[in-house]
Chain A
Amino acid sequence: MEHENPRMGPHDVGGEVSGPIDVVDHGMSHWEKHANALRMTVSGLKLATVDEMRRAAENLGERYNQIGYFEKQTEALAIVLAERGIIPKKMLQSELNKVRERFQVPIIPLPDDHDHDGKPIQEDETGEGPNQHHSMNLAMQEILESKGLIKANQIREKIEKFDGDYPNRGAKVVARAWVDAKFKKQLFLDANPVIEELGIDLEHAARIIALENTTDVHNVVVCTLCSCYPRQLMGQPPTWYKSRSYRSRMVYEPRSVLKEFGTHIPDNVTIRTHDSNADMRYIVIPMRPENTTGWTEEKLEKIISRDTLVGVTIPSI
């Protein structure tokens, strides 16, 4: 869609004409989970701010569009830690060489009577060492550990929270809102305190705004500039949420985008599209489906998927 203002940079994609959205979440590989956990730990400890890392990624220029999401995040982290003098470039290079050297292991010859389907035993399951960006993250982690700035178990715990804990929290909030009118009212007034009363530690991350779907209004969330998302409430954003096509199109053709997710919103229902790009984080509270009267919160949680909390689908039974 046309607008007359110059874009701020390669990240400023809201309104761009773009292709169809791959609505399948492709999840994350181990190295991506590690990269994410390192970034979250470093920003949580205020060794680097999210704003600095965003700026570093935006300034990658053409490279912004040539490398993947976690590759960009890795390079941005390295740039900011170098700027801050925490990990000068030379120090990172030297540690990177050590990491690579560590993975240069010989293939172990097998004794004749020991058969692994004819395959040699190697350090890594793919038979290759860590990729370039994973090596950078490992090197950064090792330097930060040796300086006493982080501990290895902080990274491991962060990965585990993203795998097991964070992704299940949003459904608990919605299920409670469906059964407890007082909670629901308070949730829309000021979400953080009542969410924390459920025993959910939001880790002082950001303010949460809960958006109420009604028979007249449907809410949907996008971040056109990057990938703002309530991670401590909903886990890591799905791959489509970070995609250029979702970020470009959701702000000017929400109804077409929702159709690609199989969601048809009638014209008499107002769509409120929220471009989440600053200090608030958003969770959509969908309408409780009919025929769920008397259901326990536990049973209700099972019909509340992550996609319904972003607003691209609606719960059904």
Chain B
Amino acid sequence: MSNVTSTYTEAPDHLFNIGDEVKVIRSNPPGHRRTPAYIKGNVGIIERICGSYPNPEELAYGFDGLPKRVLYRVSFKQVDIWLNYTGPGNDLLEMEIFEHWLSPL
């Protein structure tokens, strides 16, 4: 499988690296957004860099979504998200979040 080319897209200017701690921005602008309310304000760790993709917030209104935005997968501890989480402390929640929704810690 040496001839396999990755379909991960390029993200040459990514602000965060794998393992970095990040905080999800707590903001509520109107319009189409892809960052669920329950995760805003939470701190997690960059699990991987997915590449760069057109901004869905602009695609949603018929624009081209350019320039592309860097998309990450962020890993959160469930006990950090939910005050009353009943499962073990190791349980994780992971989701994709665009760079403009993350701030460094």
Residues of A bordering B, CB below 8 Å? 1-8, 12, 14-15, 49, 51-52, 54-55, 58, 83-84, 182-183, 186, 190, 192-194, 197, 207, 209, 224-225, 251-256, 267-268, 270-280
Contact = CB atoms under 8 A, between A and B. Distances in A.
A221 B93 CA distance: 10
Q: Contact size class for B?
A: 35 or more
B83 interface: yes
A151 B86 CA distance: 52
B79 to A, nearest CB: 11
B87 A84 contact: no
Interface string B1-30: 100111110000000000000000010100
Contact of B5 (A193, A209, A252): A193
6 tightest A-B contacts by CB? A51-B59, A278-B96, A55-B60, A15-B38, A55-B32, A275-B95
B38 to A, nearest CB: 4
B60 A51 contact: yes
12 contacts: A1-B84, A7-B37, A14-B39, A49-B60, A51-B56, A193-B6, A207-B50, A209-B73, A224-B36, A251-B38, A271-B87, A275-B94
Given A55-B32, A193-B5, A270-B90, A277 B96 contact: yes
B46 to A, nearest CB: 14
Best-buried of A7, A84, A197, A252 by chain B (most CB within 10 Å): A252
A219 B55 CA distance: 27
Interface string B72-100: 01010010011111111011111111100
Contacts of A278: 34, 50, 53, 56, 71, 95-98
Most chain-B CB neighbours within 10 Å: which of A51, A194, A280?
Answer: A51
A83 B71 CA distance: 28
Contact of B59 (A12, A52, A255, A268): A52
Given A15-B38, A197-B1, A270-B92, A190 B6 contact: yes
Nearest to B28: A6
| Best-surrounded residue of A12, A183, A192, A273 (most CB of chain B within 10 A) | A273
Nearest to B24: A5
B61 to A, nearest CB: 7
Contacts of A280: 50, 71, 73, 96
Contact of A252 (B31, B78, B88, B94): B78
A225 B62 contact: no
A110 B4 CA distance: 65
Given A15-B82, A55-B32, A84-B62, 7 more contacts: A2-B83, A3-B37, A52-B59, A190-B8, A225-B36, A273-B78, A278-B34
Contacts of B34: 225, 277-278
Contact of B40 (A5, A58, A194): A5
Contacts of A83: 62
B60 A275 contact: no
Candidate in B33, B78, B93 with the most chain A CB atoms within 10 angstroms: B93
